[in-house]
């Protein structure tokens, strides 16, 4: 397996995401390596987030114990990423896609490393030219959605951006439903319990 130049691949991802996805899908990276890469992306994400909190404190966290705790934050990000990959794979297959779990995983992991790069650049710009960081984040959000749809399309060989959009929307619904069920199971008995004496 010969790894492509990462800088060139990142540029290709922005300009021609479908072509970049095809290149990535030919790498045949083992699942063990993918899990390690996913964990590394989560760690880097958490480090940048923690660094931004130190450099630019935002006051009390809206979710005490989560956003102000690197371990919990990392677990939340990692869990959310795994759930997203699983959902995109299963929903895509249900809607006629043919992509494997590894196909979806390698593309999502690559997107996470691109996201980490944008976060690092945004933090640097916040400290130097704050207004540019706003434009960077806004632009990255738009371009990221464009890349995301192309990656879903290529992972599942859908040959349709509309179908890729359907997979994305259905996956978001499935993820939201899963979180709702988990919160109900965890919070329901606690919030709705009556003390027995």
Residue 89 has a CB neighbour count (10 Å cut-off) of 23
Distance of CA 173 to the CA centre of its chain: 16
Give the Å distances, CA to CA, from 71 to 37, 47, 61.
Answer: 18, 10, 15
Question: Residue 180, exposed/middle/buried by CB under 10 A (0-12, 13-18, 19+)?
Answer: exposed
Asked if residue 109 lies in contact with residue 34, where contact means CB atoms within 8 angstroms, the answer is yes
Are the CB atoms for 56 and 135 separated by under 8 Å? no
What is the predicted pLDDT for the residue at 194?
41
pTM of the model: 0.85
pLDDT per position in the chain (197 positions), as tens? 566 788 999 999 999 999 999 999 999 889 999 999 999 999 999 999 888 888 776 655 555 555 678 888 899 899 999 999 999 999 999 999 999 999 999 999 999 999 999 999 999 998 899 899 999 999 999 999 999 999 999 999 999 999 999 999 999 998 888 877 776 766 544 444 443 33
């Amino acid at each position: 397996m010969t790894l492509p130049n990462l800088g060139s691949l990142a540029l290709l991802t922005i300009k021609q995401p479908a072509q970049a996805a095809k290149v990535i899908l030919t790498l045949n990276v083992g699942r063990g390596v993918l899990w390690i890469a996913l964990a590394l992306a989560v760690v880097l994400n958490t480090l940048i987030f923690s660094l931004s909190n130190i450099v630019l404190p935002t006051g009390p966290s809206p979710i005490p114990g989560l956003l102000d705790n690197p371990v919990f934050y990392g677990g939340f990000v990692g869990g959310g990423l795994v759930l997203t990959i699983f959902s995109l794979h299963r929903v895509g297959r249900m809607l006629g896609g043919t992509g494997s779990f590894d196909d979806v995983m390698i593309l999502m992991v690559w997107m996470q490393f691109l996201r980490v790069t944008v976060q690092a650049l945004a933090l640097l710009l916040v400290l130097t030219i704050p207004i540019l960081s706003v434009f960077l984040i806004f632009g990255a959000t738009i371009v990221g959605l464009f890349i995301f749809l192309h990656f879903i399309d290529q992972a599942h060989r859908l040959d349709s951006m509309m179908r890729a959009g359907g997979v994305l929307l259905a996956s978001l619904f499935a993820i939201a439903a899963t979180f709702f069920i988990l919160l109900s199971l965890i919070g329901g008995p606690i919030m709705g319990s009556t003390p027995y004496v």
